[in-house]
Amino acid sequence: MTDLLIFGRTGQVALELARLAPDARFLGRDEADLANPAACAASILGARPAAVINAAAYTAVDRAESDQGTARLVNAEAPGAMAKACAELGIPLVHVSTDYVFDGSGAAARAENAPTGPLGVYGQTKLDGERLIAAAGGQWAVMRTSWVFSAHGTNFVRTMRRLGAERGRLTIVADQVGGPTPAADIAAALLAMARAMIADPSKGGTYHFAGAPDVSWADFAREIFTRSGLSPQVVDIPTSAYPTPARRPLNSRLDCSAISRDFGIPRPDWREGLDRVIQELSA
Ligand X SMILES: Cc1cn([C@H]2C[C@H](O)[C@@H](COP(=O)(O)OP(=O)(O)O[C@H]3O[C@@H](C)C(=O)[C@@H](O)[C@H]3O)O2)c(=O)[nH]c1=O
> Mask 196-235, x = binds ligand X (CB under 6 A)?
---------------------x------------------
**Is 242 noted as a catalytic residue in this protein?**
no
Question: What is the Cα–Cα distance from 101 to 216, expressed in whole angstroms?
Answer: 18
Select the binding partner of residue 256 from ligand NDP, ligand X, none (C-beta < 5 to 8 A, by kind). Answer: none
Would you say 172 and 179 are in contact if contact means Cβ atoms under 8 Å apart? Answer: no
**Residue 28: HSE in the Cβ half-sphere, 13 Å Cα cutoff:** 7
Q: Identify which of 263, 46, 59, 259 has the alpha carbon closest to the alpha carbon of residue 150.
A: 59
CB of 19 to ligand NDP, least distance (A): 13
Based on CB atoms, which residue is closest to ligand X, 9 or 208? 208
Q: Angle between the 183-199 and 270-282 helix axes, to the nearest 10 degrees?
A: 120
Choose which of 47, 156, 247, 271 interacts with ligand X (CB under 6 A).
156
Element holding 170 (H helix, E strand): strand 169-173
CB of 264 to ligand X, least distance (A): 24
For binding to ligand NDP (CB under 6 A), which residues are involved?
A: 8-14, 29, 33-35, 55-59, 74, 96, 98, 126, 145-148, 153
Asked if 99 touches ligand X (CB under 6 A), the answer is yes
- The set of residues, in sequence order, having a beta carbon less than 8 Å from that of 80 and lying 6+ positions away, is 37, 129, 132, 133, 135, 136
Interface positions with ligand X (CB under 6 A): 59, 61, 98-100, 146-148, 156, 159, 170-173, 176, 217, 242, 248
Q: Which residues are catalytic?
A: 122
